[in-house]
A and B are shown apart, each in its own frame.
Chain A
Amino acid sequence: MYCIQCGVKLQEGAESCPLCGTPVVDVRAEKQPTVQSWSDLYPAQKRHGQLLVISLITTVLMAASLGCLIFCLRTARNASWSGYVMLGCALLWVCFIFPLFFRKWKPMIFLPVDFACLAGFLLYICAKTGGSWFLSFAFPVTVLVGLITIAVVALFRYLRQGRLPLLAGLLILIGLSFMLVEFFQHITFGTPMFVWSLYCVCGFCAMGAFLLVASLIPSWRNALRRIFFF
């Protein structure tokens, strides 16, 4: 069989020419059975050694927490600074060990949990030191950083198209959020308004504007993708 357009010889049973798509009618051709897919041939396997790592790190963190608690109880007769260590260990466990129980890292679940725990840790420090900075500074800044982190992760993990304009928007938002941080700093600690944050706003907005322009010009967009490997 030959393709009437390209003049090349085709495989027996070919339905059309692979080069130009010109159809070939062959009434003798029979359908071949399809090849099995990858997942049929290689079912998901159990991960080995995961439990060992989890147990080992959990034991180390627990030992460090209990060791500090016992040391404090024996020397100062109260928990004193061991609370920081215990909560710090708990925070580490939630951030790095808890996700290992799951087959896949699910940022939309883990990141809010991580930032909630961080806020709880800061609340404990604030209460323990008798400070009044939690509600007016630590909490809103933690929420802000958490939201930005989740947005960045979601952008690079779930989006396949249109990353560049969104990244540009995100950079501008990050720049503006520095002003918000400085505002919280001002109302909590009485520092002057908008001093250092203006530099950040200018830098991030310039980067964001550049990416926004680049996203609109196809040649720039492709060049950025090639250079920055995304």
Chain B
Amino acid sequence: MRKQWYRLDNAALIFPAIIRKNWNNVCRVSATLKENVDPDLLNQAIADLAPRFPTFFVRLRAGFFWYYLQRTEKPVQARPDYAYPLTHMSRKELKTCCVRILWFEKRIAVECFHSVTDGTGGMAFLQNLVARYLELKYGGEIPHEGNILDYREEPKPEEQRDCFLLCGAEGSVGRAEATAYRLEGEPEPDGFRHIITGIVPTDTLLEKAHEQKVTVTAYLAAVMGEAICARQAQQGRTGRKARPVKITIPVNLRKTFGLDTLRNFTLAVNIGYDPRLGTYTHEQVCRLMYHQLAAETIPQRMAGRVSTNVDLQRNLLLRLVPLFLKRIAMRLVYALSGERKGCLNISNMGTISLPEAMAGQVDRFDFVIGVQYSYPNNCSVASWQGKTCINMIRSIRDAELERLFFSRLVELGIPVEIESNRR
């Protein structure tokens, strides 16, 4: 029987080409339940969901012109969350399955290669997995509302489509941007990823953001910008030596264009300010971040930026170039421009909602994006039941940026509870 395969969506094309020996682009979503996880039931839940979520149980294959995803014969088995989050997913592992499902005590985690889906898609899959697991454990049926789908239904074509191809504009928006300050530090030699989680009350965070008349994402970006600016100053980069501070914000285009998919549909925008132009007050930084984010994320501009990417994918001459040449070109373009335009990512998942029937069983949701090759730090945010988990991941030893960021939040009157996976 011919194995089912899927084209990579527009955003996913770059990720297989830029895999390095010790790095690739992986993200993780996890849910902590009220009771310990039963691995047998979890495996049963995975097997039940496999036909409904075919684009998740895939392996990465290389064709002559493009990479593609091929459906696996059997669904992946859950395995213990053995070491540290986002352990390197090797090429060999990607050829077996691009998704890991892990469990540890009360926690169920899904780690997926970015070519499969983005954080929102991963979270939708995790919620369905938890829902099916809870159904198997406690019986009954969880209503199919919000992200929860009926696992007995056939997968819908719109869930598997490449939405980037549907929302382009007639014109395109250029990519030229100023190069940002690069965070640096001594890398962990064994590739260990440190994660420091700051848990803050969502209502206090919202209140502080609304005091400045900005969104939570813009507020966190402003605080992070201040922390990065302070870090630059610590390294002696002040005055003319300073570099622009820019934060990369992945924007969920599902809301912008009203399209839904379980594959990638996110586009990153860079917002920030230049410390060489003078000193900024907290209010000014908040307003700068908010207005830049608002201006960058209007649908017309996003559509123009999508067009820039999609036009390249549709170019007949480029399509006829063999994969090994495309790979070299993509690597060069990514190395020269992809990771030089921002200091770090702040990916805000927003407030997660679940059907009432299962909300009481879930204690916490976490969302962690892996570090970029050149950015040693990244930050991801998810809110659940009045608590916002700000996960800061780093591949370097020094936790100075985290200290500056979280202590700035405390200074601003937001209580922070800290957890870490320190060894």
The chain A residues found within 8 Å of chain B, CB to CB, are 3, 5-11, 17-20, 35-38, 41-42, 226-227, 229
Interface of A is mostly: loop
Is there contact, CB below 8 Å, between A9 and B418?
yes
Q: Beyond the given A10-B417, A18-B422, A226-B374, could you list 17 further A-B residue pairs with CB under 8 A, ordered by the A residue number?
A: A6-B407, A6-B410, A7-B416, A8-B410, A9-B416, A10-B418, A11-B418, A11-B419, A18-B196, A19-B196, A19-B402, A19-B418, A20-B399, A20-B403, A38-B83, A41-B79, A229-B331
Q: Of residues 1 to 49 in B, which have CB atoms within 8 Å of A's CB atoms?
A: 18, 20
Is there contact, CB below 8 Å, between A226 and B335?
yes
Cβ of A155 to closest chain B Cβ, rounded Å: 14
Cβ of A20: which chain B residues have Cβ within 8 Å of it?
399, 403
Ranked nearest first, the 4 interchain pairs of A and B with the lowest CB-CB distance are A18-B420, A19-B403, A9-B417, A7-B410
Cα A10 to Cα B410 in complex, Å, equals 13
Cβ of B166: which chain A residues have Cβ within 8 Å of it?
none
Is there contact, CB below 8 Å, between A41 and B419?
no
Cβ of B56: which chain A residues have Cβ within 8 Å of it?
none
Nearest residue in B to A227 (C-beta to C-beta)? B335
Quick one: which of A6, A36, A226 contacts B406, CB cutoff 8 A?
A: A6
Quick one: which of B80, B415, B420 contacts A41, CB cutoff 8 A?
A: B80
Q: A35-B82, A38-B82 are in contact. Are A8 and B418 (CB under 8 A)?
A: yes
Nearest residue in B to A161 (C-beta to C-beta)? B189
Q: Of residues 376 to 405 in B, which have CB atoms within 8 Å of A's CB atoms?
A: 399, 402-403
Q: A11-B418, A36-B82, A226-B373 are in contact. Are A6 and B403 (CB under 8 A)?
A: yes
* B359 adjacent to chain A (CB < 8 Å): no
Cα A20 to Cα B403 in complex, Å, equals 6
Cβ of B62 to closest chain A Cβ, rounded Å: 16
Is there contact, CB below 8 Å, between A227 and B82?
no
Cα A5 to Cα B399 in complex, Å, equals 14
Cβ of B198: which chain A residues have Cβ within 8 Å of it?
8
Cβ of B83: which chain A residues have Cβ within 8 Å of it?
35, 37-38
Cβ of B82: which chain A residues have Cβ within 8 Å of it?
35-38, 41-42
Cβ of A64 to closest chain B Cβ, rounded Å: 29
* B320 adjacent to chain A (CB < 8 Å): no
Cβ of A38: which chain B residues have Cβ within 8 Å of it?
82-83
The chain B residues found within 8 Å of chain A, CB to CB, are 18, 20, 79-80, 82-83, 196, 198, 331-332, 335-336, 339, 373-374, 399, 402-403, 406-407, 410-411, 415-420, 422
Q: A19-B406, A37-B82, A41-B80 are in contact. Are A8 and B420 (CB under 8 A)?
A: no
Cβ of A229: which chain B residues have Cβ within 8 Å of it?
18, 20, 331, 335
Cα A36 to Cα B82 in complex, Å, equals 7
Cα A11 to Cα B417 in complex, Å, equals 7
Cα A78 to Cα B18 in complex, Å, equals 56
A-B contact list, 27 entries, CB within 8 Å: A3-B418, A6-B418, A7-B410, A7-B411, A7-B416, A8-B406, A8-B416, A8-B417, A8-B418, A9-B418, A10-B418, A11-B417, A11-B419, A18-B420, A18-B422, A19-B399, A19-B406, A20-B399, A41-B82, A42-B82, A226-B335, A226-B339, A226-B373, A227-B335, A229-B18, A229-B20, A229-B331
Cβ of B406: which chain A residues have Cβ within 8 Å of it?
6, 8, 19
Cα A216 to Cα B203 in complex, Å, equals 52
Cα A171 to Cα B305 in complex, Å, equals 43
Cβ of B379 to closest chain A Cβ, rounded Å: 14
Cβ of A5: which chain B residues have Cβ within 8 Å of it?
407
Quick one: which of A17, A37, A227 contacts B418, CB cutoff 8 A?
A: A17
Cα A9 to Cα B20 in complex, Å, equals 37
Is there contact, CB below 8 Å, between B332 and A227?
yes
Cβ of A83 to closest chain B Cβ, rounded Å: 37
Which of B18, B339, B374, B407 has the most chain A CB atoms inside 10 A of its CB? B407
Cβ of A40 to closest chain B Cβ, rounded Å: 9
Cα A6 to Cα B227 in complex, Å, equals 14
Cβ of B332: which chain A residues have Cβ within 8 Å of it?
227
Cα A9 to Cα B18 in complex, Å, equals 39
Cα A5 to Cα B410 in complex, Å, equals 11
Cβ of B97 to closest chain A Cβ, rounded Å: 15
Cβ of B35 to closest chain A Cβ, rounded Å: 20
Cβ of A10: which chain B residues have Cβ within 8 Å of it?
417-418
Cβ of A89 to closest chain B Cβ, rounded Å: 29
Cβ of A37: which chain B residues have Cβ within 8 Å of it?
82-83
Cα A56 to Cα B144 in complex, Å, equals 52
Cβ of B419: which chain A residues have Cβ within 8 Å of it?
11, 18
Cβ of A179 to closest chain B Cβ, rounded Å: 31
Cα A42 to Cα B100 in complex, Å, equals 15
Nearest residue in A to B336 (C-beta to C-beta)? A227
Cα A99 to Cα B213 in complex, Å, equals 66
Cβ of A227: which chain B residues have Cβ within 8 Å of it?
331-332, 335-336
Cβ of B189 to closest chain A Cβ, rounded Å: 8
Nearest residue in A to B339 (C-beta to C-beta)? A226
